[in-house]
Structure 1
């Protein structure tokens, strides 16, 4: 294995093991064995289990931020509603197709009770969604795709919907998430109250 693929394999394996067994019950020995490395070789890449947990968290945060799903520059007057719906559906599909996502995110939320740096970062991601939605909605108003509206309230509502769906999926509830998101966006585009 070369350095880059070994590093990636360690992170991918750790992601799975942490989701399956939790942070506390997953050891460096388990990770090394699953990857096919000696413990000293694993320690060459990561100085500790906590370093792996931190690196995974940073990678996870990059992958779930607002700009990972919504690209404001792609929105036009003609495609605004369709693109808004499609971009939100990407979030739902990502969680539905990654069987470890909910479990690992729950691990980080629990870790946030012991280490506020984790909970602070998760709150920042939610605030990033609110700011991103506000910017996207203001863009929609400026290009005439949607009527003027209370941008901040609607942005907060959309963030709450995204976060609630994330939580409901993590509990295994089989709601019609695609329809919920589509209905929320369409009511917003039409200017209906939320």
Structure 2
């Protein structure tokens, strides 16, 4: 990796942490440049404005979040369906546990979305995508006969999607809950309660 690429990555890493800890309003490009070890004019080579940097980071986070719920349907079977569903939640919990900045910076984007329709639209699309992905997984569960075809799979899928999303919010507050146990209970409840209803 060349010096320009290294500097670019360093800017992103520093901005990610500073935006999470101080917020968008209280973080300037000059502060980011100083932390990276470059001059303020030099940062403009990479980003023309703080808004452009904020937007770029959001796009990166957006892609990362979308990738979180990727299921290889060829790997799913009646015998491992619950295990695979559990892993989706466990992976998210582990990643958020390792990255104390993710929920903080995402909260900044939620605040930004309250006054910027562009971000609001993207967050709504992300939310719709979450719901659709869980619904697709549950439709496949019916094909595998893990769930009965008369089960209310839309409500079940949306319930898990909402829990998946909200676990992160609780983690942000520092609530010391057994998130994996909660996820496990929810998965078993919607699957085992969804047979022959």
Which TM-score band applies after superposition, normalised by the shorter structure? Answer: over 0.9
Distance 2:79 2:9 in 1: 40
| Regions of 4+ moved over 4 Å | none
What do residues 130-177 of structure 1 show as CA deviations (whole Å, max 9, x unaligned)? 100110011111122333321211111112111221211111111111
Q: Give the Å deviation of 1:88.
A: 1.2
Work out whether 1:166 is the aligned partner of 2:168.
yes
Q: Equivalents in 1 of 2:112, 2:106: separation in Å? A: 10
Which residue is equivalent to 1:21?
22
- Give the gaps of 5 or more residues in structure 1: none
Matches of residues 1-194 of structure 1 in structure 2 within 5 Å? 2-65=3-66, 67-73=67-73, 74-148=75-149, 149-192=151-194
Q: Is the 8 A contact 1:112 1:118 kept in 2?
A: yes
Structure 2 gaps of 5+ residues are none
> What CA distance in whole angstroms lies between the structure 2 residues aligned with 1:183 and 1:192?
14
Q: CA deviation at 1:43?
A: 0.4
Q: Conserved in 1, the CA contact under 8 Å of 2:20 and 2:104?
A: yes
* RMSD (CA atoms): 1.6
Say which SS state the counterpart of residue 24 (structure 1) adopts: coil
Distance 2:65 2:194 in 1: 28
TM (normalized to structure 2)?
0.91
Report the alpha carbon displacement of residue 192 of structure 1 after superposing the two structures with TM.
4.8
Number of residues of Structure 1 aligned to a counterpart in Structure 2: 192
* Bigger fraction of residues in helix: 1
